[in-house]
Structure 1
Amino acid sequence: MEDLLGQLKHSLQKGFIDKKHSEFSRFKPELLVNQKDKRQDVLTSLTDELKTCRTFMFSVAFVTESGLATLKSHLLDLYEKGVEGKILTSTYQYFNQPKIFRELLKLKNVEVRIANIDGFHSKGYIFQHDQYYSLIVGSSNLTSSALKVNYEWNVKLNSHENGELIDHFEEQFRDMWNTAVLLTPRWVDEYERFFEEELRPNVAEFPGHYVTNRLETALTIDPNKMQQAALAGIESIREQEEHRALVVSATGTGKTYLAAFDVRKYRPKKMLFVVHREQILQKAKEDFQRVLGGNDEDFGILSGPSRAVDAKYVFATIQTISKPETLQNFDRNAFDYLLIDESHRAGASTYQRLIDYFTPDFLLGMTATPERTDGYDLFQLFHYNIAYEIRLQEALEENMLSPFHYFGVTDVEIDGQKRDAEAFAYLTSEERVTRILEKVDYYGFSGKSVRGLMFCSSKKEAHALSVELNERGFRTCALTGDDSQEKRKLEVNRLEHGSLDYILTVDIFNEGIDIPSINQVVMLRQTESSIIFIQQLGRGLRKHESKEFVTVVDFIANYQNNYLIPVALSGDRSQNKDEIRRKMIDQSYIQGTSTINFEAVAKERVYASINASRLTDLKKLKDAYIDLKNRIGRMPLLQDFYDHYSIDPIVIGSKKENYDAFLSAVKEEKPVLRPVHSQVLTMVTQELLSGKRAHEVLLLQKLLEEKTLSRQRWKETLTEKEMREDESTLQSVERLLTLDFFKQADREKYGSEPLIHEEQGMYSLSSFLQELLEDDWFSELFQDVIATALLRSSRYDQQKPLTRLQKYSRKDTCRLLNWDKDEQSTMYGYKTKHGTCPIFVTYHKEGDVEASVDYEDTFLNPEVLHWYTRSRRRTSSKEVLEITEAEQRGIDLHLFVKKDDDEGRDFYYLGEVTPDPDSVEDTFMPNDQGEKLPVVTMNLILKESIDQQIYDYLHEKT
């Protein structure tokens, strides 16, 4: 109670009296705004409060389907915990559509009422916690744009439960609530009838087909921002007298239109456009005719019975055009412009036959997924000329795609030991079908009626589920590779025009099928490939006037490959488990109004998969290496991995002692290093590549450039770069580069000789290192580590020894806190030295841990950790007094926490802490023999509260 009151008083002091007030309080008043560059939005604050509240009250005039979708999984988790809430909304200006009221009725733990007052326009969110309330009031209605994108002002305040302000808000809410109308199905029916008859404009639901354009009309169609940039990239390549180019562009971003715009600019005498599926042909021809204009006979299809070989613009399937008898109908120079759609398929023999035959003046390839798993070098085919590249995140940011709300939901648990027949029976059981229907109904869709795709794990499952769904009143069909083109066209047409609710398939819809009206994508199969995941997600990302967003419902069972879900959604190719965990902890990387949500159990399954995954298997790393080598057309260096957002270089350093060893492991041809070269390369890789402290690599870089550097000039350089330059840090840097910091075993592993020399205030490279650098191959690899480490160091605050929420090992901590020696082996849970005391906590300990060290360290809230010392300690023990009296003794306490041992050796740094003197007490803990051992417990108060997402992550058990 006292701590809460103290925190609230500090929040008032800092927020309303003195902004320089130094005492931290997690309850400080905040201005909440949406700031893309800082990855901040109002939605995060809203969901953080929902996660911890006892109940909530929303008073919002406007609610949209997309806005409600951002909260649905959180509200479902609250329902599972028995937490209920109230939403008061309105019919003000008839903004709220009838369908949103039906969506609100689905919330089992939320009572909804309609304000019975003219001009109801409030925007307030009240959350009741234990003994206090949080209040968010401002300009944000419950819409995705207001919560994530728009420029909004909202104030977040916290009040004790006895505060007058919150009492006023509650009173106002109660008064409105008591006169409001309860939302019921009957009320919605009446509102919908009025809305449809009196208000809704008479607009057609489906757009008509494109009509062919006159030339002057076509010239008025302009490229969008992405297409303009891509066209400039293609033209730049042509200006270099190159004849091939590749465009990498996310599904739905208008690649076909882009190609048509470039053809319009190039003005070929005869063009060939090649696709791999017949369904695409007619749409591609119509798009080109719309952009190019001209006579109908200029545009012809070469596929099946259609043989328009004389058309100016020929649109052909690869199956038809690659036949020898078809190729013979054309001169090799017949086409001066050749386009290959979905060009990642170009390694197939049919495409190779086509490319080998024709000699166009210009060859353009287009693909959303250039990465290959078959070893084919797509980039070489296009002479490594990437004209333009835009991936999913950039396309969302540019508002080129339909926003999506992804929901990772809990699927039935699959026993990995089950035989195929048993697993199939489970996947098509009544229990699972019921669960599927419950989830797709709860998370819903945008638009009047569902137009959905369901991706199944097998043809057999697709057919069986279709039968089950049809028996329950849905209109579905199963489509697989066994079905004819005519059958596929028919069913797609039925889906587009509302005669079907769902098409169930396996993988024939992964790419090449254009159904813009898709408003729900359901994934009923495990994620085997991040590429396929994005292809299937992309089926719903094309914009269409009938939908505001697309709903993606992903059923997550206990599959080994669940870790690929955050990999796919974020586009993270680092192979770094910590980076992938961060994408689960904080999804602010997703752009625009799109959101990523996981139900609690589903999230635990993904974390468990990340922990168990073998991301650094040599085969996976070799595949990524080959992909990057193909992309840039040469053997990559570590910096290339960083520059191209590929494997995190630190992952390579954790797999092999240095990059030369990695190259040997992937069978790359290269010069041979002497053992002593390898030892030094291992040292800079293992100790400096992470960039956690940039000082060492910056000093080495300066000495490589200038040969000598005065200590004074070195300090000035650090000051100029806003890096700490205190004497203790300078000495620590020197100890590391002379190897004095390391234990004898490490010194021998690293070559035993210093890398720098310091005499009379002047630094220079040691004669030992200078001699090694005469080897060109070693010199290239050495400087590559230095350059990559400096790039990677940007993620760390170089003005401070440690950066909050970054991860560090015990060895890192010794170095960065400027200890004389590496003392990780004697650090255990904590150790005091040189005016610092790092404290390491493993939050969830292994089940077989000894009872005497099974401490119940627990976060009481985001700024207080209830912590235990080592056993056999009392409040009077010397090491305990160094902690409890740390402030008086000038000792800085630093807290490091990891969730469990599956995370490896590194811990999240959560910042400095101070013990609460009133909480320090002696207690006892039994060991395995039942003996009670003395131990001291206390509350450690963080100087800065940890983010709610990290707090939730540490609490969740996997």
Structure 2
Amino acid sequence: MNLNTNFSNSILSALLDKNIATKTEFTPQLIANAPHEKLKHHLEQELRTCTSFTFAVAFISNAVLTDLKVTFADLARHHVSGRIITSTYLNFNQPKIFAELLKIPNVEVRIADADSDFHAKGYIFNKSDYQTFLIGSSNLTSNALIQNYEWNLKLSSKTEGRLAEQINQEVEKQWQKAQPLNQKWIDQYAKFYSENVSLSSPTTPFQLENKSPLTPNRMQQAALKALINLRSEGQKRGLIISATGTGKTYLAAFDVRNYRPRKFLFVVHREQILRKALLSFKNVLGGPADDYGILAGGTKEIDRKYVFATIQTLSRPDILNELKANTFDYILIDEAHKAGAASYQKIINHFKPEFLLGMTATPERTDDFNIYELFDYHIAYEIRLQDAIEEKMLSEFHYIGITDYEYEGQVITDNTPLKHLVSRERMDYVEQQIDYYGHDGDQVYGLIFCSRTEEAHEVAQIMTQKGHPTVALTGEDSVDNREATIKKFENGEIEYLVTVDIFNEGIDIPKINQVIMLRNTESSIIFIQQLGRGLRKSEGKDFVTIIDFIGNYQNNYMIPIALTGDQTLNKNSLRNKISINQTVGLSSINFSEIAREQIYNSINNSNLTLLTKLRASYIDLKNKLGRVPLLVDFQKYGSTNAQIFVDKYENYHQFLFKMHDQQALTTLEDSFLRLISREFLNGMRVHELILLQDLFTNNGKYSKNDLITELSQMGTYTDVATITSLEKHLDLTYYQPNDSKKYGNTAMINLVENTYHLNESIWNSYQNNSYFKKLVDDVITTGLINSKNYDLNTKFTLYQKYTRRQVNSLLGWPTDQSSAIYGYKEKMGFCPMFVTYQKRADIPDELNHNNVFYNSSLLSWYTKSPRRLDSNEVVRLLEGNQNNTIDLLLFVKKSDDEGSDFYYLGQVDFDSDSVEQRYRTVKGKEKPIVKANLKLRTAVKYDLYLDLID
């Protein structure tokens, strides 16, 4: 099918008959910023596949320009350039925007005539022999590309098409009339702007000190209610976990206002934080100044109603001896994760308040101290970074992940010598990148994180020599020196602070608008702490730019874990997180091509399920709960995916054995747990779980008719093949010998006179072994929770992932034949088709079929070889699909690196016009093969489509 035919069919499909098959992405479509299809995704994808581009947009925001600079830089590497024509219409574009545009070497910019009222919103992408247009209501701003309900039409045209000609002529006319952007023009515009344009109100700081009366925000309201409920249950201790910058201090003040204590104590580790906290409490509580006292350094005001103390002073024996155990009825420990230290333990053991509250952003510790136990395992409320950003409690951020400096042609690795980490050549590269990606606001307030103290001092020296006043602050500096330096930084006398780890927490500098990471990501906790330094809102700051210089490090896989909060240890999930640039609210996560490849390699090459990692996750949750966690706890609390324990150890009992937390099980009990965990925990089919639940609650017996009625009332399918399959799974006749042996070679149910009977030994164990009962119930409960991820009405749920083995099972085939399913297999009216989109280079020629997504609704497909158009198999599939006697089910994965499971993309049909005889050379011999295009009944959602074809 030639290009002209493709365009013709696309136009006919869009304007005349939607059922006409279109082979390419030429079909016009409306883009309105749906959850899985943002205009930003389309824009970035078109940029990645174009030979040149032109943007004609009236308004441009610094935030979205920061994001696109990553893509522009990748295009420059491939010698692709573009043009932007913009305007001064309504004076929306600030002078800084034009200065930032001038930094992009492969983009030529012109400014529309001021008298033209230029208000266009169009994006043109030139391809090899056609063009794609995005035209509609969206300017180049974050809201317009991500969040707003917009109407934008995406269409493609041959360059000789009338519409393309009209658009191109109009753009060229405007381009020729427009003023080229240069520094002289920017200086003149900046002078006009400062003299004539009234700036809109700056961003309001999150902590609303100037508003009266102060009221809790939504997060604080929920937390306050949780604290009231906790105390109403008679609890004496509680923990608040809340991301940095979300108003923990004000939350505490609101709770103290609710509680009305006779005497209150606030404990913190630094006097600077203490004095800021006192002011915040005054804003909320009011009252006379002499109600508030400080216990720090040489100040000893312990007779006040509200006492604010540093741990260093409070823990002194002479101070504690003056204070009785019941002196304070409400005590608050700030940065409560530090409470394992001896000084904190001393005061906690000394005082007996009516209520003890701990507050922290990072309860996960690398030491053995259990913060949860200290607060009686009562987590009153929790809000993490991603939630806080979505709720707009924190500053918007734009993360830029780019490759680090290359030394001798290789990107910096774990083993690169220190002298090369701080070489002048590397710092030249760093300076170029931080200037290119820039910052919000007129002046930079930058924070640089390094790996070593020596490196920090050298970086500071080189940056200062380059004209960027920079000071290194490390653990070797005194508190007084740190505070004096920070004051100079806040006053604008210093551009950058360089540190190793002292700014990970406890430092509050809202003005920070650029964070530079020049170190390996060794901990997702520390990564978030460091990123969080720039997330406090500040007057005149709309967002913070995070520039991460990513070397070729083994643990780069931690970056998507930290940025997205995905702690599941699931490789597929992590790869999906970086496949396309992510958004969190209006914040964004952007990776350059090379950096994304480095992270992919790290994910693929890392063993995320090492016992050490699983043990750490287990111990953290055990500490949090105060007991041995179950699989259901991992699912509920967003920790490691419960399925990972089963995939690695076959049942949770075997993992608990590794943790020395197991109890005794018989061989049959262990085999039964292995069966239900491996086969049913995923929740893909609810039928077995419901039957097991019914058997265990009905003395080991349950009517088959009652089961079918129950399943029907749930709204799930009850066809004969599925019910028979259920029975074969539980009487073990479905499995191949190896699996049957693993499961005990003993039927776990028997059907007698239309009634299911549970294996008598299993029933006795369930009644008499509480440990076994707990693990069985845990699998069933977790499986039922997982089943909520699937559509009960169908055997397969769109966009969920399935292995060949799971497909074989869910189709109700009598025995496990998954090892014989290669590209496809037709049986019992179904033909699942498995496509690995990107084939390995070493795969045999006879299997290496080059599948191509022509668009999100059309995929090329090949039969096995040797096959001809008149082969029985080919005729049966074609006729069966045409007569609706065979359902074609499409399963696709990106590559073999992603494991053995495939995305289910729904039912497909053969495009009869595309069926043709082809030939493939296999080991020097020509073999016949049949090619056909598959028409997807449901177009692939756009973000997944981009992931698959990338």
State the TM-score, normalized to the length of structure 2: 0.92
Counterpart AA for 1:905: S
Counterpart AA for 1:472: K
Q: 2:867–2:930: 8 Å Cα contact kept in structure 1?
A: no
| Other structure's SS at 1:795 match | coil
| Other structure's SS at 1:561 match | coil
Q: 1:375–1:626: 8 Å Cα contact kept in structure 2?
A: no
690, 694, 699: which one aligns with 2:691: 699
Counterpart AA for 1:674: T
| Other structure's SS at 2:388 match | helix
Counterpart AA for 1:140: S
- For 1:286-297, list aligned pairs within 5 A: 286-297=279-290
Q: 1:340–1:365: 8 Å Cα contact kept in structure 2?
A: yes
2:109 aligned with 1:115, yes or no?
Answer: no
2:629 aligned with 1:657, yes or no?
Answer: no
Distance 2:190 2:90 in 1: 15
Counterpart AA for 2:135: V
CA gap 1:159/1:641 in 2 versus in 1, 3 angstroms: same
Distance 1:859 1:82 in 2: 26
Q: CA deviation at 1:793?
A: 2.1
Distance 1:676 1:162 in 2: 74
CA gap 1:377/1:222 in 2 versus in 1, 3 angstroms: same
Counterpart AA for 2:730: L
Worse overlay, 307-316 or 141-150 = 307-316
2:599 aligned with 1:600, yes or no?
Answer: no
2:681 aligned with 1:689, yes or no?
Answer: yes
Q: 2:846–2:920: 8 Å Cα contact kept in structure 1?
A: no
- For 1:198-597, list aligned pairs within 5 A: 198-200=196-198, 220-412=213-405, 423-585=417-579, 588=582, 590-597=583-590
Q: Percentage identity across aligned positions?
A: 46
Q: Who is 2:901 aligned against? A: 906
Distance 2:853 2:136 in 1: 31
| Other structure's SS at 1:111 match | strand
Q: CA deviation at 1:501?
A: 0.9
Q: 1:62–1:142: 8 Å Cα contact kept in structure 2?
A: yes
Counterpart AA for 2:137: S
Distance 2:371 2:23 in 1: 55
Distance 2:785 2:802 in 1: 18
Q: 1:8–1:159: 8 Å Cα contact kept in structure 2?
A: no
123, 126, 137: which one aligns with 1:125: 123
Distance 2:628 2:204 in 1: 51
| Other structure's SS at 1:562 match | coil
Q: CA deviation at 1:77?
A: 2.0
Distance 1:841 1:908 in 2: 10
Q: CA deviation at 1:859?
A: 5.1
1:853-897 deviation digits (Å, cap 9, x = unpaired): 555555566555555655666666555665666635854444444
Q: 2:26–2:156: 8 Å Cα contact kept in structure 1?
A: yes
2:160 aligned with 1:175, yes or no?
Answer: no
Distance 2:134 2:723 in 1: 47
Q: CA deviation at 1:718?
A: 4.0
Distance 2:361 2:532 in 1: 10
Q: CA deviation at 1:239?
A: 1.4
Counterpart AA for 2:693: Q
Q: 2:9–2:22: 8 Å Cα contact kept in structure 1?
A: no
Question: Which ranges of structure 1 fall in alignment gaps of 5 or more residues?
Answer: 212-216
Q: Who is 1:33 aligned against? A: 32
CA gap 1:634/1:868 in 2 versus in 1, 3 angstroms: same
Q: CA deviation at 1:340?
A: 0.8
Q: Who is 1:810 aligned against? A: 804
Q: Who is 1:610 aligned against? A: 603
1:655-714 deviation digits (Å, cap 9, x = unpaired): 21111111111111x431111011011011111111222232233334444566655554
Distance 2:199 2:581 in 1: 38
Distance 1:761 1:5 in 2: 60
| Other structure's SS at 1:560 match | coil
Q: CA deviation at 1:577?
A: 1.5
26, 45, 48: which one aligns with 2:42: 45
Q: Who is 2:142 aligned against? A: 144
The alignment covers a number of residue pairs equal to: 943
- For 1:143-162, list aligned pairs within 5 A: 143-162=141-160
Q: CA deviation at 1:114?
A: 1.5
1:466-520 deviation digits (Å, cap 9, x = unpaired): 1111111111111100001111111111111111111010110011100001001
Q: Who is 1:214 aligned against? A: none
Distance 1:276 1:478 in 2: 22
Q: CA deviation at 1:222?
A: 1.7
Q: 2:406–2:412: 8 Å Cα contact kept in structure 1?
A: no
Q: CA deviation at 1:244?
A: 1.1
Q: CA deviation at 1:218?
A: 9.2
1:871-928 deviation digits (Å, cap 9, x = unpaired): 666666555665666635854444444444433332333445556665644434354x
780, 785, 795: which one aligns with 1:791: 785
Q: CA deviation at 1:258?
A: 1.0
| Other structure's SS at 1:493 match | helix
Distance 1:519 1:399 in 2: 17
Counterpart AA for 1:641: F
1:571-613 deviation digits (Å, cap 9, x = unpaired): 112121122222223565x432101110011001111111122
Q: 2:377–2:626: 8 Å Cα contact kept in structure 1?
A: yes
66, 70, 75: which one aligns with 2:72: 75
Distance 2:785 2:328 in 1: 46
Distance 2:174 2:411 in 1: 57
Q: Who is 2:60 aligned against? A: 63
CA gap 1:945/1:153 in 2 versus in 1, 3 angstroms: closer
2:740 aligned with 1:747, yes or no?
Answer: yes
Distance 2:4 2:368 in 1: 60
Q: Who is 2:95 aligned against? A: 98
Q: 2:6–2:26: 8 Å Cα contact kept in structure 1?
A: no
- For 1:727-766, list aligned pairs within 5 A: 727-758=720-751, 762-763=755-756, 765-766=758-759
Q: 1:72–1:443: 8 Å Cα contact kept in structure 2?
A: yes
| Other structure's SS at 1:773 match | helix
Distance 1:175 1:891 in 2: 56
1:39-98 deviation digits (Å, cap 9, x = unpaired): 553322322332323333322221111122232212222222233222221111111100
Q: Who is 2:921 aligned against? A: 925
Counterpart AA for 1:685: S
Worse overlay, 121-130 or 742-751 = 121-130
Q: 1:522–1:552: 8 Å Cα contact kept in structure 2?
A: yes
Worse overlay, 547-556 or 574-583 = 574-583
CA gap 1:878/1:429 in 2 versus in 1, 3 angstroms: farther
Distance 2:721 2:127 in 1: 45
CA gap 1:72/1:382 in 2 versus in 1, 3 angstroms: same
Question: Which ranges of structure 2 fall in alignment gaps of 5 or more residues?
Answer: none
Distance 2:92 2:639 in 1: 45
| Other structure's SS at 1:902 match | helix
Q: Who is 2:663 aligned against? A: 671
Q: CA deviation at 1:836?
A: 3.4
Counterpart AA for 2:124: I
Distance 2:318 2:282 in 1: 28
Distance 1:764 1:17 in 2: 59
Worse overlay, 224-233 or 897-906 = 897-906
1:318-368 deviation digits (Å, cap 9, x = unpaired): 222223233223222222221111101111111111111112221110001
